[in-house]
Amino acid sequence: MRKLLILVFCLPLMLQAQVNQDSINIKNMVNEIMTNGKAYDLLRELTKKIGGRLAGSPQQQNAAVWGKRNLEALHPDKVFLQACKTPSWQRGGKDFAEIVEIDGVAKNDKLDVLALGNSLGSKGLVEAELLAVANFDELEKRRDEVKGKIVYFNSEFNPTRIQTFAAYGESGVYRRTGPSRAAQYGAVGMMMHSLSTAPDNAPHTGAMEYDEAQPKIPAVALGPNDAKALYALAKKSKVRVQMQTYGYFLPDADENNVVAELKGTQFPEEIITIGGHLDSWDVNEGAHDDGAGIVQTMEVLRAMKALNYQPKRTIRFVLFANEENGDKGGLKYAELAKLNKEKHIFALESDAGGFTPRAIGITTSAAQFKKFQQWTALLKPYGTEIITGGGGSDIGPLTSYDKTIIMAGLIPDSQRYFDLHHARTDVFENVNKRELLLGAANIAAIIYLVDQYGVNP
């Protein structure tokens, strides 16, 4: 009885002592990253020496070699490659569009455009009257007017969506499916407002998917300023436009995920994965999307090695191939995990830019989420909270073979992300060093806690 009373009295003190030790350990990791972090230097190398990394390109393959070399230099327990086939879409030339006639009067007003990723070439100039619609509902109502025209979708973000990823999700459907939706009624081309919040005229590319049952028409995104002006003009005048694109596919390319691993000392069969994707679009340096996630992943490994951290569970640091137009790297990682009967318990992706971190998003059961919520106080000093809803395109396929794997994501401030996303403005100069490192510090903190305590309620 006396022993029981002592235990009841001492347990709160023991728990508080452990919390204090966790706070110290996390602080040590944060201090290491914020003082000696190399993520910004690595990002400079990736963006300035290699540049844009379109899937299937020599730059993307060079990035995998670069990633493997730099991970090996950190001396993890192992570094290995996972071979995968990826699409090899080529832009093929300088995309072009212009207004050639307004109410019967000839014009020569060029529009700043980029072909959407995976769209095919127009096989010469396509000229037609413009049919501008606000959304798919209006397209359906006016479907008898579509044949032989170039359809413009006014896919501008809803400005009342404070969470810009919600606005992106709503407008993104026009990029993904707009060309085929227009083609089914006889459109000969498709234009859209770039998926951007920027008050500039830099067009934003990004992946689209053809419906194989419909004609494969050329598709472009307009710079935001040109898009707004064109839509306003088309609502009051009869507008005729030209467009030309050059896209085509080469045979699938041989690429690789690059994986580093720290072996767990107590539960090596339980795997924690963190990562980002190496590929980007061809028109930029891919600094925020997703160079930031790549170098943050590498920075967490560097900090753990610098502090001689010995994880309880196996931690994987993954540089994924081909997120932008196929997710082939993430699919291969999940395929091999299933084939090898691996036990993945937690996966976190950083693919929302290198801006100031605001939260760690967690997708799990209500019971498990309560456990994560208990750690909020440990992360709060570094600017984040733990909220529901997290994951990523690269780690998502893991749940196809095990629904119990917990998905997570670093959630930075998103207000400026879509100013740069998939545009020529996504360059190294638009990344802030301190914000980038602070993101890595918060990833390190949550990975430490999952490693120490697992994920069970």
272-304 pLDDT, tens digit each: 999 999 999 999 999 999 999 999 999 999 999
Query: Among 3.40.30.10, 3.40.630.10, 3.50.7.10, 3.10.105.10, what is the CATH number of 28-89+251-453?
Result: 3.40.630.10
Using CA atoms, how far apart are residues 202 and 449, in angstroms rounded to an integer? 41
Residue 268 has pLDDT above 60, yes or no: yes
pLDDT given for residue 10 in this prediction = 56
pLDDT given for residue 65 in this prediction = 98
Residue 6 has pLDDT above 90, yes or no: no
Residue 14 has pLDDT above 70, yes or no: no
Q: What is the pLDDT of residues 195-236, one digit of tens each?
A: 998 999 999 999 999 999 999 999 999 999 999 999 999 999
pLDDT given for residue 457 in this prediction = 82
Residue 15 has pLDDT above 80, yes or no: no
| DSSP codes joined into one string, 252-274 | EEEEEEEEEEE--SSEEEEEEEE
* Alpha helices (H) in 278-432, listed in sequence order: 292-306, 328-339, 366-373, 376-379, 417-420
Structure tokens at 105: 């009067």
Please, which pLDDT band fits residue 12 given cuts at 50, 70 and 90? Answer: low
For the segment 404-413, the average pLDDT, to the nearest whole number, is 97
| Phi, psi torsion values for 37, nearest 5 degrees | -55, 140
Residue 67 has pLDDT above 90, yes or no: yes
For the segment 351-355, the average pLDDT, to the nearest whole number, is 98
Using CA atoms, how far apart are residues 234 and 159, in angstroms rounded to an integer? 22
Range 92-246 classified under CATH 3.50.30.30: yes
- CB-CB neighbours of 310 under 10 Å: 12
Using CA atoms, how far apart are residues 334 and 332, in angstroms rounded to an integer? 5
The residue to which tokens 């004609």 are assigned: 215
71 Cβ contact list (under 8 Å, min separation 6):
79, 258, 260, 298, 301, 317, 319
In this prediction, what percent of the chain has a pLDDT beyond 90?
95
Residue 9 has pLDDT above 90, yes or no: no
The residue to which tokens 């083609």 are assigned: 183
282 Cβ contact list (under 8 Å, min separation 6):
52, 54, 57, 91
Residue 244 has pLDDT above 80, yes or no: yes
pLDDT given for residue 46 in this prediction = 98
pLDDT given for residue 33 in this prediction = 98
In this prediction, what percent of the chain has a pLDDT beyond 70?
96
322 Cβ contact list (under 8 Å, min separation 6):
55, 60, 84, 86, 87, 255, 277, 279, 328, 329
For the segment 408-434, the average pLDDT, to the nearest whole number, is 98
Residues of the chain with CATH 3.50.30.30: 92-246
DSSP 327: -
Residue 353 has pLDDT above 80, yes or no: yes
pLDDT given for residue 19 in this prediction = 74
Given a contact cutoff of 8 angstroms between Cβ atoms, the answer to whether 407 and 391 are in contact is yes
Label residue 389 left, alpha or beta by phi (over 0 means left) and psi (-120 to 50 means alpha).
left
Structure tokens at 81: 């490659």
Structure tokens at 48: 């300035």
Short-list 219, 10, 191, 235, CA closest to 103:
235
55 Cβ contact list (under 8 Å, min separation 6):
86, 87, 88, 89, 253, 255, 279, 321, 322, 324, 325, 326, 328
Residues of the chain with CATH 3.40.630.10: 28-89+251-453
Q: What is the pLDDT of residues 295-341, one digit of tens each?
A: 999 999 999 999 999 999 999 999 999 999 999 999 999 999 999 99
Using CA atoms, how far apart are residues 248 and 267, in angstroms rounded to an integer? 48
Find the length of the chain: 457
Order of all β-strands in the sheet with 150-153? 105-111, 96-102, 239-244, 126-133, 150-153, 189-193, 219-222, 113-115
Residue 4 has pLDDT above 80, yes or no: no
DSSP 372: H
pLDDT given for residue 240 in this prediction = 98
Q: What angle do CA 440, 445, 450 make, to 5 degrees?
A: 125
